[in-house]
Amino acid sequence: MANTTPAQALAHGRYIRGSASKVRRVLDQIRGRTYRDALIMLEFMPYRSTGPITKVLRSAVANAEHNLGLDPATLVISQATADMGPSMKRFRPRAQGRAYAIKKQTCHISIAVAPST
């Protein structure tokens, strides 16, 4: 049997500053929604990670429109994931000559859009 999945357009945002867990809580809210609804939700959410997520979502829709010829009004977010990226390690001086490690986390955001069925 052939795998007959509808055409999907992908977009990735790599090395985004911010932890993957904080990005996931936003992606969980928009997964399965239409493109228009997701944009409205992202506009009014009070989280810092909505900026990079909006950028990746717009890129995925542009890929669907340009490469696959799909109408943006019919698109639904079929997949949205956030994976951990590398952590930048920084050190702060602390009392009695100690050094305190600070991990500045990054993440990779992947969003796929597909036409609604």
In this prediction, the residues of the chain whose per-residue pLDDT falls under 50 are: 1-2, 4
d(CA 74, CA 50): 22
CA 90 to chain centre: 25
Give whole-number Cα distances, 58 to 13, 46, 87, in Å. Answer: 11, 19, 26
Report the alpha-carbon distance of residue 27 to residue 104 in Å, rounded.
Answer: 21
Per the CATH hierarchy, to which homologous superfamily does domain 9-115 belong? Ribosomal protein L22/L17 (3.90.470.10)
pLDDT digits (tens, 9 = 90+) for 83-113: 999 999 999 999 999 999 999 999 999 999 9
Kindly list the domain boundaries of the chain, sorted by start residue.
9-115
Going by C-alpha positions, the residue among 82, 69, 66 that lies closest to residue 29 is 82
Q: Do residues 12 and 110 make contact, with C-beta atoms less than 8 angstroms apart?
A: yes
pLDDT computed for residue 116 by the predictor: 86
Can you give the pTM of this predicted structure? 0.89
